[in-house]
Structure 1
Amino acid sequence: MGAHIVRQGNKVIGWQFRLYAPNAAAVYLVGDFNHWMQDRVDFDYKTAPFSIYEVHLGSWRKKVLNADDTDTGASTFYSYKEIAEQLIAYVQENHFTHIELLPITEHPLDASWGYQVTGYYSPASRYGNPDELKYLIDQCHQAGIGVILDWVPLHFCKDAHGLYQFDGSWLYEYQEEYDRENHQWGTANFDLSKGVTRSFLLSNMTYWLDNYHFDGIRVDALSYLLYWRGETDPDKTNGPAIDFIKRVTALVHTDFKGVVMIAEDSSAYPKVTHSLEQGGLGFDMKWDLGWMNDTLKYMSRPSYARKYHSNEITFGMYYNPSEQFLLPLSHDEVVHGKHSIVEKIDGDYEDRFRLARAYYSFYFAHPGKNCSLWAMSGGAYSRME
């Protein structure tokens, strides 16, 4: 048993590996020699620049069909492989260090951003097959660009081909309708107190990191996990869900060292970015949605009124030392007629652009992590020391 050199004459032509494991379902040989892709991007996010471009692959750019096609002028999606070259070139041109893909797990609606998932273990087939996604990530890594996965452990689609009432029972979701039904999004909430649900999602996290080599995970809608139905009352914390989140961050930081964990959290839950040993949740960064709301409100005010609301531009520094913050101006800021950053700012056409430059300068100079919007279909957020 063990590793044995295979020779042809005096020439080494390979190695042969032998072991005795008669009851094993499968045996794998793992080593540097058979990596399908370059490993994760290596730099220290705590000290190096960290600038993320948030992108929805389905709307960032569309592929125009051949003019000779019967549907002249129609468009379709680029595949993971087709979009790689132009997306990487755009990200490099604008000096981003990372790309965050809005959920690329399989979901039923082409027009959606992907936050209502049906296939947790399947890359969205509208953009190609798993090998093409691996190609995109590999090309990003070869260009020195990290890739972050947007992950949704809160809820799932109620489509018949998904997890809803999977075996005729409430298998993955809560038994009680009040807890189960997520009326805000028309979905069903995971019951994170169940072993089967925890196993499903922890295995899912492992699947994406182990097989696709993502460099970071952004956990969606954390406040709805920390509190029952997102009601941020200290007396309404969801103990089993909090315990599950700690298991997630512990798994990632133990088995996938260097992978960055980012929390999208709109609550004031304490110690989100503190270690588990310090009584925290173990995340590396937390979205500062309060900073986003306050500063955009300030920029939307008429110039004569801003001096009366300076707290909206300074309040973020009051609580800044409490967490490792990431300042987000993301996809949520362009939905439902919220307008682009320039259009949010009060003033005439030319003044809006001048003020937008000043706003971005303030944002990039702000302590901690930062985030800004760059396109109607994509956002950006960044980490600058």
Structure 2
Amino acid sequence: EDGTFLNWRELAERLVPYVVELGYTHIELLPVSEHPLDASWGYQVSGYYAPTARFGTPDDFRFFVDAAHKAGIGILLEWVPAHFPKDDFALARFTGEPVYEHADPRRGEHRDWGTLIFDYGRNEVRNFLIANAVYWLEEFHLDGLRVDAVASMLYHDYSREDGDWLPNVHGGRENLEAIHFLQELNRVVLGRFPGAVTIAEESTSWPMVSRPVELGGLGFSMKWNMGWMNDSLSYIEEDPVYRKYNHNLLTFSQLYAFTENFVLPLSHDEVVHGKRSMVDKMPGDYWQKMANLRLFYAWQYGHPGKKLLFMGCEFAQWHEWSEEGEIDWGLNEIEAHAGIRRIVGDLNRLYCGEPAMHQRDFTEDGFRWIDCHDSEQSVLSFIRYAHDAAPIICVFNFTPVPRYDYRLGIPHAESYHEVLNSDSTHYGGTNTGNGGDIQVQDINWMGFEQSISVTLPPLGALFLRGT
């Protein structure tokens, strides 16, 4: 109210209960290491061993983490070992000469970002960074690190023109020193802190990012699925009349969905710099925008992979995010926006409560298409499986046209019923659906011995469970 930031203790009081109410398991924080420029969002770090004073003292930060843990919420921290700013009061030319950065600007400078690149070939620099990762986990009991800009670390020619980069000793573009640093980082962090996770923001097709170091991987626990994010957003931003021509944008991700342990990210980067807010990306009038957003979130939760959603997106904030002010909390008082918040909460609870939704996120045996070919009606359907619990049928209608008597092949069961319908009036929809039990018929369909006939809501998703 007075134009200042909430401090960590106030956040513990207000944010933690809000996150619990919505059914989340973790809070992922943008970088909280000290940084001189608010507009860098914490990604240009000047004090690697200092929690920023913007929100209080280090003990205040400990209080926040402890409050989250008492409420059953884990805390993940975005961590920036890829680059650092040129401020002379920080790490740049630390002794008057390059120390932390590579001396040659062809390896030591990110011209696009106006920052310097760590020299991963120096033992002292690797030790500084790995010790820093240990510091955050050990001193503040954090539950994991999301490592920023991994792609920029892996390639010497990242965002560079020909002739503006130096090859490695074998003549290639791979940054061998950075690869060894990341492998060492994951060995140390995951070895010293059992149960902690490391997540890579890696936007290329670099192989085995989330596979063990001893098998030749980078050793991360998980990797952001930037391909899923870009393709899914490109699809959902299309007017529904054209979606049938872009059906492959949604089906393509299954060709690589299990090559890594993926996180499906809808992050701050998707709602800044003219990209528009999540709800404002959606086509159509006000109702269709809200229905599309509910459908899109259901698509994210049904698709294999862990889920991440940036603050404000859970209640359909209209404005792009800005570090200069708070998000539009008042929208929660408007019923349509409260409906978005309610479906996000119910999707979280469905995801955590149904083993089929999360248990086999990273393995092929947790997923089976029912029908991936119905591009003409822009409908997709698949099954999520668990080891020892009922499967969940996920069906998505990406047009504003209700589909009646739509037949689905299904695993054997006595009957099926809706466990979530994104078109429920509880969320702001029309309540088009199947209420009660759906009778199973002995009609072969799509390779299944049994099938059901259902009504698909307009711009709606159904999650069905057999009994």
Instruction: Say whether 1:206 aligns with 2:134.
Output: yes
The 1-side partners of 2:83 and 2:74 are apart by: 27
The 1-side partners of 2:91 and 2:266 are apart by: 32
The 2-side partners of 1:126 and 1:138 are apart by: 19
Other-structure match for 1:102: 30
Question: C-alpha deviations, 1:254-293, integer Å up to 9, x for none?
Answer: 1111111111110100000111122111111100011100
Instruction: Say whether 1:169 aligns with 2:97.
Output: yes
Output the amino acid matched with 2:178: A
TM-score, structure 2 normalization: 0.64
Output the amino acid matched with 1:213: H
Output the amino acid matched with 2:108: R
> How do 1:216-365 residues align onto structure 2 when only pairs under 5 Å count?
216-230=144-158, 235-365=172-302
Other-structure match for 1:180: 108
Cα distance, 1:230 vs structure 2:
2.3
Other-structure match for 2:41: 113
The 1-side partners of 2:225 and 2:88 are apart by: 36
Q: Is the 8 A contact 1:155 1:189 kept in 2?
A: yes
Other-structure match for 1:42: none
Cα distance, 1:218 vs structure 2:
0.2
Other-structure match for 2:14: 86
Other-structure match for 1:31: none
Question: What are structure 1's unaligned runs of at least 5 residues?
Answer: 1-63, 66-74
Root-mean-square deviation over aligned CA pairs? 2.0
The 2-side partners of 1:116 and 1:86 are apart by: 28
Output the amino acid matched with 1:261: T
TM-score, structure 1 normalization: 0.78
Question: C-alpha deviations, 1:316-361, integer Å up to 9, x for none?
Answer: 1111110110000000011102111111111111111111111111
Greater RCO (Cα-Cα under 8 Å, separation 6 or more): 1
Output the amino acid matched with 1:313: L
Other-structure match for 2:121: 193
Q: Could you say what secondary structure the match of 2:113 adopts? A: coil
Cα distance, 1:220 vs structure 2:
0.2
Q: Is the 8 A contact 1:275 1:281 kept in 2?
A: yes
The 2-side partners of 1:99 and 1:166 are apart by: 34
Cα distance, 1:374 vs structure 2:
4.3
Cα distance, 1:235 vs structure 2:
3.7
Question: C-alpha deviations, 1:9-51, integer Å up to 9, x for none?
Answer: xxxxxxxxxxxxxxxxxxxxxxxxxxxxxxxxxxxxxxxxxxx
The 2-side partners of 1:113 and 1:328 are apart by: 18
Other-structure match for 1:12: none
The 1-side partners of 2:158 and 2:8 are apart by: 34
Number of positions where the alignment pairs a residue of Structure 1 with one of Structure 2? 312
Other-structure match for 1:133: 61
Output the amino acid matched with 1:300: E
Q: Is the 8 A contact 1:261 1:283 kept in 2?
A: yes
* Compared CA separation, residues 118 and 373, structure 1 to 2 (3 A): closer
The 2-side partners of 1:89 and 1:230 are apart by: 41
The 2-side partners of 1:128 and 1:104 are apart by: 11
Q: Could you say what secondary structure the match of 1:280 adopts? A: coil
Q: Is the 8 A contact 1:360 1:372 kept in 2?
A: no
Output the amino acid matched with 2:83: H
Q: Which moved more, 1:222-231 or 1:239-248?
A: 222-231
Q: Could you say what secondary structure the match of 1:89 adopts? A: helix
Give the fraction of aligned pairs with identical amino acids, expressed as a percent. 45
Q: Which moved more, 1:77-86 or 1:261-270?
A: 77-86
Output the amino acid matched with 2:54: R
Which residue, 115, 136, 148 being the options, matches 2:76? 148
Question: What are structure 2's unaligned runs of at least 5 residues?
Answer: 161-166, 313-319, 322-326, 328-343, 352-356, 359-467
Q: Could you say what secondary structure the match of 2:4 adopts? A: strand
The 2-side partners of 1:269 and 1:231 are apart by: 16
> How do 1:33-52 residues align onto structure 2 when only pairs under 5 Å count?
none
The 2-side partners of 1:184 and 1:174 are apart by: 17
* Compared CA separation, residues 289 and 212, structure 1 to 2 (3 A): same
Question: C-alpha deviations, 1:68-102, integer Å up to 9, x for none?
Answer: xxxxxxx1011111221101011011111001110
The 2-side partners of 1:206 and 1:372 are apart by: 26
Output the amino acid matched with 1:253: L
Q: Is the 8 A contact 1:250 1:282 kept in 2?
A: yes
